[in-house]
Amino acid sequence: MEFLKANIENGICTLAISAPKSLNALNSTILKELDDFIDHIDSNVKVLIITGDGEKSFVAGADISEMQNLNAEEGENFGRLGAKVFRKIEVLDIPVIAAVNGFALGGGCELAMACDIRICSDNAKFGQPEVGLGIIPGFSGTYRLAKLIGMGYAKEMIYTGKVIRADEALRIGLVNAVYPQAELMDAAKALAAKICAMAPIAVRYAKLCINAEYDLEADEAIAYENKVFGMCFDTKDQKEGMTAFLTKAKPSFKNE
């Protein structure tokens, strides 16, 4: 991988996007590398952390130099590539944490929103400034931002190209927590470790339910949860977890 740096330790994979000359801006090569990485992620990984290489930027946006001379068809194809990759991240069967360490603008904000949980450093900045370039968010930003922070505020951010700081991102629910720059990755790994200690199949089923039920009517969503809840009782991890609880022991989950 030319633009990705991956490290796996104790079931946690840390993936850094590394294109320092462009502040980790996304071009088609990086998106294809991400696509391939997600398709072939190690089966022993329980949690994926996505971050940016360096201290200035998570992902500063999509590569404007690549987009500048695209025609309508080429622009649609570029948007489709980014949207496809981010959707794979969103539905990946393990939790994905975005550790946002600086600029998360345009495609960077969209990448963070495709992750399950977002935490950021105190120097982070978020925004969808595409209208100032004569385009709109193209990697599903108009879809996800409204769902995360509400339609009114999302429209304001997108229509004006407003860039917000970490404290405001926390206030409106775009991120879960803000940390000093030096503490961000330790916090991300600590959060990932807490998830790793849980029953992997149950975590996977919980993500499946939350994602699937978001657009369902209440009765349909509840019925879907009931079905997946029942599926948990066919796992060895359920027996292990409940037995450990009743015997006051520490569970040893086997992902079975």
- Residue range 4-196, CATH number: 3.90.226.10
Tokens for 136?
């709109």
**Catalytic residue check, 110:** yes
200-246 folds as Lyase 2-enoyl-coa Hydratase; Chain  A, domain 2 (1.10.12)
**Catalytic residue check, 225:** no
What mean pLDDT do residues 216-225 have? 95
Contact status, residue 84 vs residue 35, Cβ threshold 8 Å = yes
Tokens for 209?
């339910």
Task: Kindly tell me if the per-residue pLDDT of 215 is higher than 90.
Answer: no
Mean residue pLDDT of the chain comes to 97
* Catalytic pick among 66, 90, 130, 183: 130
**Spatial distance between the Cα atoms of 145 and 116, rounded to a whole number of angstroms:** 13
**Spatial distance between the Cα atoms of 12 and 33, rounded to a whole number of angstroms:** 19
**Spatial distance between the Cα atoms of 186 and 12, rounded to a whole number of angstroms:** 12
**Spatial distance between the Cα atoms of 141 and 90, rounded to a whole number of angstroms:** 13
Which stretches within 56-215 are classed as H helix? 64-67, 72-91, 107-114, 141-149, 151-160, 166-171, 184-196, 200-213
- At residue 164 the predicted structure's pLDDT band, cuts being 50, 70 and 90, is very high
Digit-coded pLDDT (tens) for 69-104: 999 999 999 999 999 999 999 999 999 999 999 999
Digit-coded pLDDT (tens) for 106-157: 999 999 999 999 999 999 999 999 999 999 999 999 999 999 999 999 999 9
Task: Kindly tell me if the per-residue pLDDT of 240 is higher than 90.
Answer: yes
- At residue 1 the predicted structure's pLDDT band, cuts being 50, 70 and 90, is confident
Contacts of 111 (CB under 8 A, 6+ apart): 26, 50, 58, 59, 86, 89, 98, 104, 139
Amino acid at 146: A
> Which of 24, 7, 97 shows the shortest CA–CA distance to 60?
24
* Catalytic pick among 110, 156, 220, 225: 110
> What residues does each domain of the chain span?
4-196, 200-246
Q: What is the pLDDT of residue 214?
A: 85
Digit-coded pLDDT (tens) for 195-208: 999 999 999 999 99
